[in-house]
Amino acid sequence: MKLYAHPFSSYSQKVLIALYANATPFDYCNLEDRTANAELAALWPLKRFPVLVDSGRTILESSTIIEHLQLHHPGLLRMIPEGDAGIEARMLDRIFDNHVMTPMQKIVLDPLRAAPDRDAHGVADARAFLDSIYAWLDARLAGRTWATGDAFTLADCAAAPSLFYADWAHEIPHRHANLRAYRARVLAHPSVARAVDEARPDRSYFPLGAPDRD
């Protein structure tokens, strides 16, 4: 099984966390490597990552990759539980991807554009969006250890990198104590800590300038 991924990429980390949490063996095709990049381009013209290749099948999209791992390489942790718990895990996975990761990326990637092409309105909207979702998540996470309750799931795989970088781009206000505590807790999970540590040498890639903290 091969994973095309980059250690500093948030969606790559989402899948790496699932792999590390279940100690699932795989070949890491690090996209710092030119050959890995060429192989990725041949597999997926959009060149988005991560991409998993398993027994000749190419699996795209981080959430689907984690579902594939659960079906074909199950481990002790069930990332998508049965029943209603599974619905909560999938729902929060979508919320972290669409409503935390997407506005975070909007803020983070804007400085890479040439000055006349920057989108100040879009960035302001993204910041307002994060303010709203931070408040919603703070209430939703009250009394929960992990994103959906007592079990570490797909939702935590998505939450960890999205909140990690979102807090750098647009700090979670101190009044959202549940959300800030959850972010600290999920970053301390061994599989998340490993992914964050592996990306430590790449912090200079952060377009806004990485703060001197996790």
Ligand X SMILES: N[C@@H](CCC(=O)N[C@@H](CS)C(=O)NCC(=O)O)C(=O)O
Q: Is the peptide bond prior to 50 cis by the omega test (within 30 degrees of 0)?
A: yes
Considering beta carbons, is residue 50 or 138 the nearer one to ligand X? 50
* Shortest Cβ 97–ligand X spacing (Å): 6
* Chain centroid to CA 174: 22
Shortest Å distance, C-beta 121 to ligand X: 21
Nearer to ligand X, 41 or 188 (CB): 41
Minimum Å distance from CB 88 to ligand X? 19
Q: Smallest distance, Å, CB 166 to ligand X?
A: 13
Positions that interact with ligand X (CB under 6 A): 9-11, 47-49, 61-62
Smallest distance, ligand X to C-beta of residue 142, A: 27
Q: Quick one: 9 or 191, whose CB is closer to ligand X?
A: 9
10 Å CB burial of residue 30 (0-12, 13-18, 19+) is middle
Q: Smallest Cα–Cα separation from 166: which of 117, 203, 114, 129?
A: 129
Residues 6 or more apart from 66 whose CB is under 8 A from it?
Answer: 14, 15, 18, 79, 80, 154, 157
- Closer CB to ligand X, residue 29 or residue 176? 29
Nearer to ligand X by C-beta: 64 or 142?
A: 64
> 24, 75 in Cβ contact below 8 A?
yes
